[in-house]
Amino acid sequence: MSEVYEGLRRQILELDPADAGLGPSPELPRVWGLVMEMGHPGGVATLVALADGTTSLYFSSGGGIIGGGSHPQVAAATRALLAVVERHLDRMPVATGTPLPAAGRTVLRAMTYRAQHAVEADDDALGRPGHPESEVHHAAHAVLTELRLIDEARSV
């Protein structure tokens, strides 16, 4: 696992939202961000989505997309995601730790002004309509799609 990845992950998991200029708003009174970590055979992909539009994706094996929130379509998808997280927060238990998910597993970690809340499940289960957090999962994947599209446009 790359030291850069570990540092970025630690930085977001230990971030005091006030230090980043984040505070409660009428739309997001409790949630200031979401960290979604997806376990793959080669490592972990981490999506960071913050209330100020900051949006990044990075990989434990190295690389990623930093600063995606500077693109309006990514920032809009991030705002939509966090609104979904706010609605689902009462169903997400307070996190007791920050372990990385195993391959095939995903952690949805709601960053709030009081505590972190987290749900971990098989990625396939989260994608199904019957899972209580499938709406969060799909909204996070909409952000990933927007990040992929801007990354592909840069590569052309």
Sheet holding 105-112, edge to edge: 64-65, 55-59, 43-50, 31-40, 105-112, 116-122
What amino acid occupies position 31? Answer: V
Question: What is the predicted pLDDT for the residue at 22?
Answer: 97
Question: What is the predicted pLDDT for the residue at 63?
Answer: 85
**Of 87, 112, 90, 95, residue with least CA distance to 22:** 112
In angstroms, the CA 108 to CA 101 distance is 10
For 65-75, write each residue's pLDDT tens digit: 888 878 899 99
The pTM assigned to this predicted structure is: 0.94
For 28-46, write each residue's pLDDT tens digit: 999 999 999 999 999 999 9
